[in-house]
Structure 1
């Protein structure tokens, strides 16, 4: 299904998420069109270290102190209910609910200096996935959309795929923004662990299904033709090209094969975990093998204001521990890890002090992010927080720096200039700096 919408879900704000795009006027940037075009042409091409990227997005905000930055010597109301275990890195300990990842820290870069700079849902989805603060008049593109624009199509596959629907669209999170709809993700909202999982329109097995797909495509074409009377020809041409390619791809054999999880043996599927996140990680590996440039795997439920420890121990963290570790192990075994950047993070951190309902609330000054593969210098911890996990005290890494690191690893020039739909020049990542400890 070519679905550029996200289904509804709710977090602690109680507001349902819906897709809506805001494309408006921009403030003056001090560059005229000639200067913009010259800067765009002169921007040096960056050398790509990674060919693909998989982003694991934990919507709601994972607790840093209960996972990868525990504080065993802190008071009980800070350290919480979990113990700690050693990792493969001397002196580095994780919470005892991530034993599989603790054995793979030689392949991970644990960013304990992550400073989310925000503690609000929705805004976080935009900030963390683009490296830019939310601006109602200027929706910035997410990482996958930028990669889609810069890399394009390969091997007859769409460049950018989103698995799951746990992204808050209220503030333009996870979309192409000013780059245009043609660079939005191909969304797969259904649970890949479901026994009857299939991607609608990829599994066209009967003549009736084929006719139904063609009818929907014809209706879409009619709508596009109508909109041509009110939108610019360049925008419509780009969107037409996108839908033409998408229609061919979703009815072709390459995508159908890539999405066929049943072709994986049961041992592999069990290793990843037979749940939506685990099977999403497995599907992401299959998609990048097939030629997809960027895959976002989403997981929800991380907004643990109540019963934080039970939620983490019983459901949330075991899925990450199993699925994430299996993905790293699988990519490494297949010789794909060096050319595949894998990133794990969420909205923000959680309050160091446990609240009266055994939960942790939003925390904007400390969190944790993990990177692996992509030719990065792994097997290390970057930065640290204070003894109570409240603030970053060494090597702060903000959302814009995470963005810069992702782009640099994928060979996207940080100073690339784009032209918005109303003709204004915008620089991709003017403030972020790649984390020097990670990039050689």
Structure 2
């Protein structure tokens, strides 16, 4: 059996005979002895952050019209927005972002972001895993890796996705080869609605509880029947553990409290914005506070081929400005910002030139991303694009580098090895490099 994590030591090399024999079979999978020894020698990374909130802007936000404006460019590139000063000398944001401009000292603005893709669907996989899409080997998203490495804390779900704005066609935002047990718990309901109930956690009445217990009992009987018919006790044990945990969480008062966003004071809810994105940000704060390790907040509608400026000004940018700035304020006030990594990005950037329908199209060589909290070195701009925002000219940050920065901040070893379902050993993040300006 291939095992890259275990094995007793029997000689001065630190490898047991069993471990050495296991190495012999690795070359067939493309993993030689040097790589194996590197993996064995890696000490667990020191975590800067305990939790992560990822804000995913599906469709691809325009870098020109948000965090990398070009006020001196020609009008067809500059667009319709003006700019506002930030707390960082010489740094300006687009003028629909005044609240975040006042908090730029808490942000790392990655203007050197090179998304390396310009296609929806593929982007959801690449940007949220750090790996290019491979139909034969879907890689896990960040939250799934954290769920596998960290597990359950305080009986809470390790990985939650809020909203459904993730394109699954190319395995975006899911566990990939790690297996379905590490997929996110998805909450599609709108927390800004007058009545917000998380369907799978809504066991309010005695009748609903009795119905759940009956179903759980029937499931247990079915599992007992299958146990007699199947020959893989490991699979059955894993399945039993999954159902036990699911049942425990569904009936947990702590989980219900974590999702009870309506218990927040009205002034707090107003600060975040009484819209789906703003209340998802508030809910994300409640979830990480309760023990959830990774929360993905999804927001759709960023594919602005037409009416780019109207969509951004009237809807998209104001809710990000309010929701994200409130999240940073709230985490800081509660003493949780250093322990919580906050990341914002989307599919890719958008074209420098405005098209004839007042929109911007897909752009694969430049974009923008934000990071905050998590003990990072913030209050800075990382990298730059050229005068028209066409490509990165300094300190490029690829999707794999963003992945490496997230994992390093959360204390996940970049050289962790997993086994794919076909038995192949897979290294978690072999190509990405943590952004040194952020992590030191």
User: Is 1:71 paired with 2:70?
Assistant: yes
Question: What's 2:60 paired with?
Answer: 61
User: In 2 relative to 1, CA 358–379 (structure 1 residues): closer, same or farther, beyond 3 Å?
Assistant: same
* Superposition CA RMSD, Å: 2.1
Task: Give 1:77 deviation, angstroms.
Answer: 0.6
Question: What's 1:101 paired with?
Answer: 100
| Mapping of residues 3-18 of structure 1, within 5 Å | none
User: Is 1:268 paired with 2:268?
Assistant: yes
Question: What's 1:311 paired with?
Answer: 311
> Which protein has the larger Cα radius of gyration, Structure 1 or Structure 2?
2
Question: What's 1:23 paired with?
Answer: none
Question: What's 2:13 paired with?
Answer: none
User: In 2 relative to 1, CA 264–201 (structure 1 residues): closer, same or farther, beyond 3 Å?
Assistant: same
Task: Give the unaligned 5+ runs of structure 1.
Answer: 1-26
Question: Could you tell which deviates more after superposition, 229-238 or 129-138?
Answer: 229-238
Counterpart-to-counterpart distance in 1, 2:225 and 2:395: 53
Counterpart-to-counterpart distance in 2, 1:186 and 1:263: 22
User: In 2 relative to 1, CA 172–234 (structure 1 residues): closer, same or farther, beyond 3 Å?
Assistant: farther
Task: Give 1:424 deviation, angstroms.
Answer: 1.4
Question: What's 1:343 paired with?
Answer: 343
Counterpart-to-counterpart distance in 2, 1:180 and 1:337: 31
Question: Could you tell which deviates more after superposition, 300-309 or 223-232?
Answer: 223-232
User: Is 1:291 paired with 2:286?
Assistant: no
User: In 2 relative to 1, CA 387–199 (structure 1 residues): closer, same or farther, beyond 3 Å?
Assistant: same
User: In 2 relative to 1, CA 94–216 (structure 1 residues): closer, same or farther, beyond 3 Å?
Assistant: farther
**2:203–2:250 contact (8 Å) kept in structure 1:** no
Counterpart-to-counterpart distance in 1, 2:221 and 2:304: 45
Task: Give 1:246 deviation, angstroms.
Answer: 1.7
Task: Give 1:53 deviation, angstroms.
Answer: 0.3
List per-residue Cα deviations over 1:367-413 (Å, max 9, x = no partner): 00000000000000000000100000000000000000000000000
Task: Give 1:180 deviation, angstroms.
Answer: 1.0
Counterpart-to-counterpart distance in 2, 1:247 and 1:387: 56
TM-score by length of 1: 0.89
Give 3-state SS (helix, strand or coil) of 1:338's partner: coil
Question: What's 2:399 paired with?
Answer: 399
**1:344–1:369 contact (8 Å) kept in structure 2:** yes
| Mapping of residues 347-426 of structure 1, within 5 Å | 347-426=347-426
Question: What's 2:180 paired with?
Answer: 181
User: Is 1:280 paired with 2:280?
Assistant: yes
Task: Give the unaligned 5+ runs of structure 2.
Answer: 1-26
Task: Give 1:262 deviation, angstroms.
Answer: 1.4
Alignment coverage as a number of residue pairs: 413
Task: Give 1:332 deviation, angstroms.
Answer: 0.6
**1:182–1:238 contact (8 Å) kept in structure 2:** no
Give 3-state SS (helix, strand or coil) of 2:199's partner: coil
User: In 2 relative to 1, CA 330–28 (structure 1 residues): closer, same or farther, beyond 3 Å?
Assistant: farther
Counterpart-to-counterpart distance in 2, 1:224 and 1:412: 34
